[in-house]
Structure 1
Amino acid sequence: MIDAVNNTLNVTEAVQMYLETSGLLSQLTVPLANFTALTEGYLQQLAATLTADTKQEAQWHYAVPELGEGGACSLFGVLADAPYDLTAILGGQTAANQLALGKLSQITDFYQQQAKVAWFGIYQARDNVAGEPVLVKLSYFGAPSRAEFPLTVEFAKISNNSAVGLSGKARVINDVAAYLQQGGEYYTCDPKVLAEACLPLFDQSGRIVGIVDAEDFTKDVFTAEAMALLVAVCLIIPRFLPATA
């Protein structure tokens, strides 16, 4: 996708295909041409960031909340004794994995600088060490949150992350309270969150390979421009995900 940044036609096609596949096309609040132009601008900035002669250290460990009884929900504000270690699920701290995590950290930093939201995470669809399909968090900023989301139909009933990871259809909730009042299921990690955008990641064949999740403590933050930034990030990330078996 970085190669497509310099080709307007390819970018236009890539953006439209992503919007159609993720279900976001019908949710646009601005003309498609305007949205594409916004996305292309962010793609160019992100491509310049990633091709610059700078390196980012891979982050292999991060704090996670203690899980409640049965492991379904996190205990907000209660951290587990041991941090989560990505080494096992990624198959070791190889040079390729080091590079991948470093690039994902660069993307996360770029998004944080541009979006100014409270929380953001990049998740990859992988099997965990128990052989179970999960979304594993590879890079993020914000408050500690769980490392793995089960990719099961049952868990998808209470988790936007898992639902998007299974369906490939984006979920944008600009008012969490209103969403809950309308009967929507919601996995609450931080009760201060008032808006969330959860978008799928696709490889070149169209297979779902992960998700991104963005959250903020303010309603209605996911405007057309904010979504263009998220889509740009989603078009770039799959190129840098660690290899799977």
Structure 2
Amino acid sequence: MISAYLSHSNLSISESTVAGQLAELDAYIESYTPDAIWSYQIPELGEGGSCSLFGHLQEAPFLLAQYVSQNSDSEHNLSRLQAIAEYVKTATGVDWFGIYQAREADGLQQLLKLAYYGAPSRPLFPITDAFAATSNNIQTFLSEKARVINNIPDYVANGGEYYTCDPKVQAEVCLPLLDAQGRCLGIIDAEAFEKECFDEYKLAVLVAACLRAIEYLPR
């Protein structure tokens, strides 16, 4: 399982380190049951919806129940996904983390944010080639490969396109959520306010999060 994930996502890190983090994560999930989050604040979007206006929040919260059936199974799954998010926070100290699932939303396929911690951020990312031009989330989903950017200012200075939500973010990792057949069903996104944040240990934590999160995506 670990080897197949690392190969598919094009990551070169220690399988044993990932296995250790997976055991730690499983113990954490067993010991901690947070509430599922069914609504959250989101930023106002810029012109054309292409860019969040950081620091300006919409008055009405985003209602996840408009996109995911609110039942006991979903309650259980979202609770577990929130526990995974909290474990990532505890284990890595990164400043933002989110778990997204590809779902039909508002008439098109989008990445829907199911669980997260950190500053408010946009809830939906359209899965389109146009949006992939700047969004690491969409590039990761479409390519099914990891994207690790440990120095965003250098990346942009060298011609890389980058979707900015929080200008304090200096490093970002996006990883695919792959099922047992190798299909990509979503992504995770981790962000840090310091450059060169994502070492092998933190990447191993994030891979462990992917290996468990895929089991709790709501139907």
Q: Which category of TM-score, normalised to the shorter sequence, fits these structures?
A: over 0.9
Shift of 1:121: 0.4
Q: What do the CA deviations read for 1:84-113 (whole angstroms, capped 9, x no partner)?
A: 1100111x2111111111110111111110
Instruction: Check if 1:204 corresponds to 2:180.
Output: yes
**Residue number in structure 2 paired with 1:24:** 11
Instruction: Check if 1:187 corresponds to 2:163.
Output: yes
Identity %: 47
Instruction: Check if 1:42 corresponds to 2:28.
Output: no
**Residue number in structure 2 paired with 1:166:** 142
* Aligned mates of 1:163, 1:78 — CA distance in 2: 26
Matches within 5 A, 1:71-82: 71-82=49-60
Q: Secondary structure at the match of 1:226?
A: helix
Q: What is the letter of the counterpart of residue 11 of structure 2?
A: L
Q: Secondary structure at the match of 1:120?
A: strand
Shift of 1:51: 2.8
Q: Secondary structure at the match of 1:186?
A: coil
Q: What is the letter of the counterpart of residue 17 of structure 2?
A: L
Instruction: Check if 1:215 corresponds to 2:194.
Output: no
Q: Which consecutive aligned stretches of 4+ in structure 1 deviate over 3 angstroms post-superposition?
A: none
* Aligned mates of 2:28, 2:93 — CA distance in 1: 18
Q: What is the letter of the counterpart of residue 19 of structure 1?
A: L
* Aligned mates of 1:43, 1:183 — CA distance in 2: 36
**Residue number in structure 2 paired with 1:112:** 89
**Residue number in structure 2 paired with 1:69:** 47
* Aligned mates of 1:219, 1:69 — CA distance in 2: 29
* Aligned mates of 1:200, 1:169 — CA distance in 2: 6
Pick one of 34, 51, 62 that aligns with 2:30: 51
TM-align CA RMSD: 1.0
Q: What is the letter of the counterpart of residue 76 of structure 1?
A: F
Q: What do the CA deviations read for 1:175-225 (whole angstroms, capped 9, x no partner)?
A: 000000111110000111100001100111111010000001101010011
Q: What is the letter of the counterpart of residue 60 of structure 1?
A: W
Q: Secondary structure at the match of 1:117?
A: coil
**Residue number in structure 2 paired with 1:144:** 120
* Aligned mates of 1:57, 1:75 — CA distance in 2: 28
Instruction: Check if 1:101 corresponds to 2:78.
Output: yes
Q: What do the CA deviations read for 1:61-102 (whole angstroms, capped 9, x no partner)?
A: 001000111111111111011111100111x21111111111
Instruction: Check if 1:88 corresponds to 2:66.
Output: yes
Q: Secondary structure at the match of 1:56?
A: coil
Q: What do the CA deviations read for 1:143-186 (whole angstroms, capped 9, x no partner)?
A: 11000001111100010001111111111000000000111110
Q: What is the letter of the counterpart of residue 175 of structure 1?
A: N
Q: Secondary structure at the match of 1:196?
A: strand
Q: How many residues align?
A: 219
Q: What is the letter of the counterpart of residue 214 of structure 2?
A: P
* Aligned mates of 1:150, 1:51 — CA distance in 2: 34
Q: Secondary structure at the match of 1:206?
A: coil
